[in-house]
Amino acid sequence: MKLEFSAIARDRSFDRAMRRVRPRLQPVLDAFERIELQHPIHEAILVGITDDKAPGFIEEIENNDGFFQVICGCSDSGSDNELLEAILGILRQSVRLCPFATSDHEEFEKLFAEMHQLILEE
């Protein structure tokens, strides 16, 4: 299963910040894809991250094409590490909303706990 995110930027500085930190998040996306699901239900989780909504905003978007899709609010005020932490939180929350089996949720929680330290230490 894939985890994908994209920036939906209103402000050019947000777009630049998202492009700047994206490579540091690639290990999370790669590790996510390697997890063997006990009960797969979607092909991918698609996360749109926008500066047009307030941080903490999250809304599921109906999708009948085998994807779980959400849009989330974010702000780029702060350092790259603060933005990375915000994006990791958004990705984690998006995965939590997806109706996986409990065993699959537990695997993803372990992944995010491990990756959080790895990503922010770079």
CA distance 117 to 122: 9
Q: Which pLDDT tens digit goes with each residue over 10-63?
A: 999 999 999 999 999 999 999 999 999 988 889 999 999 999 999 999 999 998
Q: What is the pLDDT of residue 122?
A: 61
- Angle at which helix 12-34 crosses helix 102-121, to 10 degrees, equals 130
Q: What is the pLDDT of residue 109?
A: 94
* pTM for the predicted model, two decimal places: 0.92
Q: What is the pLDDT of residue 40?
A: 86
Could you give the domains of the chain?
2-121 (3.40.390)
